[in-house]
Amino acid sequence: MSIVIDALSKRFGAFAALNGVTLEARPGEFLALLGPSGSGKTTLLRMIAGLDFPDAGHVLFDGVDMTDTPAAERRIGFVFQNYALFRHMTVADNIAFGLTVRARRDRPAKADIRARVAELLDLIQLPDLGHRYPAQLSGGQRQRVALARALAVEPQLLLLDEPFGALDAKVRKDLRRWLRDLHDRLGLTSVFVTHDQEEALELADRVVIMNRGLIEQIGTPREVYDTPATPFVSAFVGETNQIPVTIAAGRAAYAGRQLDVPTAGISDGPAELHFRPHQAELGADVPGTLPILVGAARQRGGGWRVDATLDAQPIEFDVSGPVPDRGTRAGLRLTDVQLFPVR
Amino acid sequence: MTRAAATESPLGRRVLIGIGMVFLALFLALPLVVVFVQAFAKGWPMFLDAITEPDARAAIRLTLLVAAISVPLNCVFGVVASWAITKFEFRGKSLLISLIDLPFSVSPVVAGLIFVLMFGAQGWFGQWLIAHNWKVIFAVPGIVLATVFVTFPFVAREIIPLMAEQGRDDEEAAVSLGESGWQTFWHVTLPNIRWGLLYGVLLCNARAMGEFGAVSVVSGHIRGLTNTMPLHVEILYNEYDFVGAFAVASLLASLALVTLVLKSLLEWRFGYHQARSAH
């Protein structure tokens, strides 16, 4: 199922939660809405679900305007951050809920519902836990039950609000992979909200980065990481060092010292220079490099992450060779940078 | 033996517990015993006579009737008010929350007087009511009104915190699975608050049956007609019919004891339930 979000706006009192958001999810796509809290990502998800309604704009499913259709009639699967399992019902009754509440003429026969529940319990790999109550399950198990409950009505669109937020790191990693696999197998279109950039980059086909009710960038994980469209995206996705520079005659300079970095397409004037810890090489303090003072180093992956200061500003970079001594003055040659003009 | 800094000496502890026990015995247990001793002072037959004579029977019937009307009403009001307060944002919400507590902070006598001022013969709606031949004050409707007013907060106060804690997620989950609002209420909201609701209903009922002040003002104390059990007890006592007074009082005291047992049972069940469903 394709989703089109067209110029969606929503205010809560004086607070603009969404400020004219437009985007599209293609059939079969796994889309992540990524942003800090208050960025409007959850509001957007709730509007796709029909749990909130926009002040302006439209939501279309497969070209059909669903803007004013209530959640109950949208046939979507929604997984809540805290699962919202019905605590007074068994796991099996929870999963069957979306089927048993249907009007009699649409309701499958009891045996069919039972079969469907058994099938879903198998799918979530909890075949023997149908008779348990939600309180008797672990967090990861609850999460999977919530997913099975959402899938029972055979939605074409699956919406997930911070689906792994309440789980510990190990369970989170396993579930992530399992969910992605499930999405592909069932041919769903899925949208999930997260504030965890690692999760978004690992799981999603495309990532929508939101900030203050606006979309900053939409792109594949690679695109948003390698070519961030705005300083916000660059800082929010992955680790970034930011330093103020001035562009003059096509050359960037930090505090009067010219740097050997490409400046194609950036007009003269003040700019923000971003580079990631791995986009720098340590060398001698010579022209064209950033003059830094080396601080502490810590093991990170296969190499070392070094803390340094550029004047008073903290800078982080990676080294794969020998670790520089603390207190050394050195030069940092930037191998790749992002430049954003300051307006 | 290690002792925490905040622990009293064994002697001090015993003295404190002793004072507490003596106080409880003197002010709570002893009066209760006295009620039953006095009720049975002249034996079973007198006790039975006292609670089966027509005026006593009328008082018991009226008390049951008033409770049977006001408790369900407050149950509905309480759920509706709690629903509105916890599931929606609206103007005047905090005012509504304070208003719910009003009956607790107003003296029951004043509450009764309010209704006399509104519905009494000299009251705002008095002439209109007389013209339409409706009797509110010194009649059953007035007693019900006063009781509803006084017992309003019990249910609402019990389930507002419960609903606030549970939030809207469960209802939204049900809606996203295709339920209508009304179905959601029966399938999700009500089961989620059932223990708290029962607890509130129990307290509400105990107060509805035991209410004296407000009811006393609006009832007019007409024997066999507008006397509830508490009013009947007072009348008998003032007439020096001690056995009669204490016999009826012992019924009210039994109600209190039953309420206490049910309340403990619920607390045990409720607490257990809450602990189990804690995430």
And the tokens for B39?
């009720």
Contact by Cβ (8 Å): A19, A9: yes
ipTM for the whole complex: 0.81
pLDDT for res A320? 84
Substitution target from A87, A106, A113, A153 for chain B, most B beta carbons within 10 A: A87
Q: Does A69 touch chain B (CB under 8 A)?
A: no
Confidence of residue B276 (pLDDT cuts 50, 70, 90): very low
**Beta pairing class for A3-12 and A56-61:** antiparallel
B172/A51 touch (CB, cutoff 8 Å), yes or no: yes
Sort out which chain B residues have CB atoms less than 8 A from A143's CB and list them: none
CA angle, residues B200, B206, B212, in degrees to nearest 5? 130
Q: Which amino acid belongs to residue A209? A: I
CA within 13 Å, CB half, B107 = 6
- Please tell me the distance in Å from B70's CA to the nearest CA on chain A: 29
pLDDT of residue B277: 43
Q: Looking at residue A105, what DSSP letter applies?
A: G
Buried b (16+ CB within 10 A) or exposed e, B12-35: eeeeeeeeeeeeeeeeeeeeeeeb
Tell me the nearest-neighbour CA distance from A186 into chain B, angstroms.
19
Q: How far apart are CA A70 and CA B146, in angstroms?
A: 42
Question: pLDDT at residue B273 above 60?
Answer: no
Q: Is any Cβ of chain B less than 8 angstroms from the Cβ of A87?
A: yes
Q: How far is CA B134 from CA A93, A318, B63, B138, B141, in A?
A: 52, 89, 21, 11, 9
B175 Cβ under 8 Å from any chain A Cβ: yes
Nearest to A189 by CA among A23, A24, A30: A30
| pLDDT given for residue A44 in this prediction | 95
| Contact across the interface for B170 and A86, Cβ inside 8 Å | yes
Q: Enumerate the residues of chain B whose CB falls inside 8 A of the CB of residue A70.
A: 175
Express as a percent the part of chain B with pLDDT over 90. Answer: 38
> Nearest to residue A75, comparing CAs of A163, A179, A166, A153?
A153
Chain A contact for B279 (CB, 8 A cutoff) = yes
Cα A159 → chain centroid: 13
Per-residue confidence (pLDDT) for residue A306, from 0 to 100: 92
Q: How far apart are CA A117 and CA A120, in angstroms?
A: 5
H-helix segments, A229-295 = 231-236
For residue B2, the model assigns a pLDDT of 52
CA dihedral for A237, A239, A245, A250, sign (positive or negative): negative
CA dist A45 → A52, A132, A193, B175 (Å): 9, 30, 7, 15
In angstroms, what separates the C-alpha of B152 from chain A's closest C-alpha? 28
Task: Write out pLDDT tens, residues B203-226.
Answer: 999 999 999 999 998 888 888 888
Architecture of the CATH domain B43-277: Orthogonal Bundle (1.10)
- Distance CA(A25)–CA(A191), nearest Å, equals 8
- Which residues lie below 8 Å from residue A259, measured CB to CB, with a gap of 6+? A245, A251, A252, A253, A273, A288, A289, A290, A334
Question: Which of A72, A75, A149 is opposite residue B175, by nearest beta carbon?
Answer: A72
Q: What percent of chain B has pLDDT over 70?
A: 94
**What is residue B278's predicted lDDT score, i.e. its pLDDT?**
38
**How would DSSP label each residue in B217-236?**
HHH---TTTT--HHHHHHHH
Question: Any CB–CB contact under 8 A between B179 and chain A?
Answer: yes
Nearest CA in chain B to A85: B170
- In whole angstroms, give the CA distance from residue A173 to residue A153: 27
- Rounded to whole angstroms, what are the CA distances from B31 to A35, B23, B37, B149, B258? 65, 12, 10, 29, 17
Q: Does B170 touch chain A (CB under 8 A)?
A: yes
In this complex, which of B188, B192, B277 lies closest to A135 when CB atoms are compared?
B277
Starting at the edge strand that comes first in sequence, how are the strands of the sheet with A30-34 ordered?
Answer: A77-79, A157-161, A189-194, A30-34, A206-211, A214-219
Angstrom distances, CA of residue A47 to CA of A74, A75, A93, B211: 11, 14, 27, 50
Long-range contact pairs involving A122-129 (C-beta distance under 8 Å, separation at least 24):
A123/A148, A123/A151, A123/A182, A124/A148, A126/A91, A129/A91
Q: Is A14 on the interface with B (CB under 8 A)?
A: no
Question: Is A135 in contact with B278 (Cβ distance < 8 A)?
Answer: yes
pLDDT score of A194: 93
pLDDT of residue A3: 94
- CA distance to partner chain A, nearest, from residue B190 (Å): 10
Contacts of B191 in chain A (CB under 8 A): 86, 88
pLDDT in tens, chain A (343 residues): 899 999 999 998 889 899 999 999 999 999 999 999 989 999 999 999 999 999 999 999 999 999 999 998 898 999 999 899 999 999 999 999 999 988 888 899 999 999 999 999 998 889 999 999 999 999 889 999 999 999 998 898 999 999 888 788 888 888 888 899 999 999 999 999 999 888 999 999 999 999 999 999 999 999 999 999 999 999 999 889 999 999 988 889 998 888 888 888 888 889 999 999 999 999 888 888 999 999 999 988 788 999 999 988 999 999 988 888 899 899 999 998 999 998 7
State the pLDDT at residue B275. 41
Say whether residue B185 is in contact with chain A using an 8 A CB cutoff.
no
Q: Does B18 touch chain A (CB under 8 A)?
A: no
**Residue B3 pLDDT:** 53
Q: Cβ of A86 and B175 within 8 Å?
A: no
Q: What is the structure's pLDDT at B5?
A: 64
In this prediction, residue B63 carries a pLDDT of 93
Please indicate whether, in this complex, the C-beta atoms of B175 and A102 are within 8 angstroms of each other: no
Closest residue to B176, CB basis, from A51, A87, A135: A51
